[in-house]
Structure 1
Amino acid sequence: MERLRVDRQLEEALAHGPDPLHLAAVFGLDPKTAIRYAENARTLLTAAAEGQSPTDGPHEK
C-alpha cells in the first residue's frame, strides 16, 4: 500500500510539474516531503529530456 501511495505522489509530480506547493495541497504532505518529491520529479524529467537514465552519470550512456 505504501509503494502505491509513493508511486501516485511521484506520478502527480511528473504529470503536473515538480511543484511542491501543488503536491502539498493535493496530498496534504509536509513541506519537506513535498520538496523531496518535487526534486525527484525534476531529476527524472531532466534525465528524460537529456535522453539518459536518471541513474546514469553525465559521462555514461
Structure 2
Amino acid sequence: MTVYAELKESELKGLQECEDEMGVLLVAYKRPSPPAEVSPDTLEKIKLLEEETGLKLVAYE
C-alpha cells in the first residue's frame, strides 16, 4: 500500500523550497509502489475519469 510520507518540518521546508524553485508540485510517499501496467483501454478510461473529475490519477499495483 502506498501512503503519504510523514515529513519532519525541515524535510517539508526543503520540499516546499524545491517546489517553489522548480515550479512543480511534489508528493512524498512513505513506500513507493511501482505504477501498474495497464491496457490501452484501461488507460483511456483513467484519462476520461481524470477529465471528468479534474483530478490526476495514478494506478499502482
TM-score, normalized by the shorter chain, greater than 0.5: no
TM-score of the aligned structures, taking structure 1 as reference length: 0.30
| Bigger radius of gyration among the two | 2
TM-score of the aligned structures, taking structure 2 as reference length: 0.30
Higher relative contact order (CA 8 A, sep 6+): 2
Which structure carries more helix by proportion? Answer: 1
